[in-house]
Amino acid sequence: MRAPLACLLLSTVLLQACAPAYEDGHLSRFINRQREVRDACLRLQVNQQDDRQSAPDAIARAIAATCSPENDKLIQAMATADPSSEPQITEAVRKDAAMRAETYVRELRARPGVTTVPLLN
């Protein structure tokens, strides 16, 4: 009777140790908060940097570069969950920042008479 119980307890402990970090509620909330901070920076920079004449992707890259400290905090938070994947996380987060910035630039330009992107969703 002890052997099956011991196996069950051991497998439960091992499975919990391998559980994905996104199941960590505090870490998930922290990552989401860092993403919100980064996105707010992108929106603010769109309002400040878009001259409505330059190519949207060029403006987006400049905006994403300006928000590098916020991006780095997001990358660091996400890499906490899986440190071995930091290079992939870094690349994905930086691409996401540039894509979001370009989306915000295009949204702003699509609305004649609107001069700012709302800072909050």
The pTM of the full predicted model, rounded to 2 decimals, is: 0.75
pLDDT of residue 4: 57
- Identity of the amino acid at 106: R
Domain that holds residue 72: 22-110
Assigned domain for 67 exists: yes
pLDDT of residue 1: 52
DSSP string, 54-82: S-HHHHHHHHHHHTHHHHHHHHHHHHHH-
Helix, strand, coil shares of the chain, percent, nearest 5, are 80, 0, 20
Mean pLDDT by 10 residues, the chain (121 residues): 51 46 77 96 93 94 97 95 91 96 93 70 56
Buried b (16+ CB within 10 A) or exposed e, 99-118: ebbbebbeebeeeeeeeebe
What tokens were used for 118?
Answer: 């709302």
Assigned domain for 6 exists: no
Assigned domain for 3 exists: no
Please count the CA atoms within 13 angstroms of the CA of 24 that sit on its side-chain side.
Answer: 15
Assigned domain for 14 exists: no
Give the containing element (helix H, strand E) for 120: none
pLDDT of residue 82: 85
Assigned domain for 103 exists: yes
pLDDT of residue 19: 47
Could you give the number of structural domains in the chain? 1
Assigned domain for 60 exists: yes
User: How many of the other CB atoms lie within 10 Å of CB of 19?
Assistant: 9
pLDDT of residue 7: 47
Assigned domain for 86 exists: yes
Assigned domain for 16 exists: no
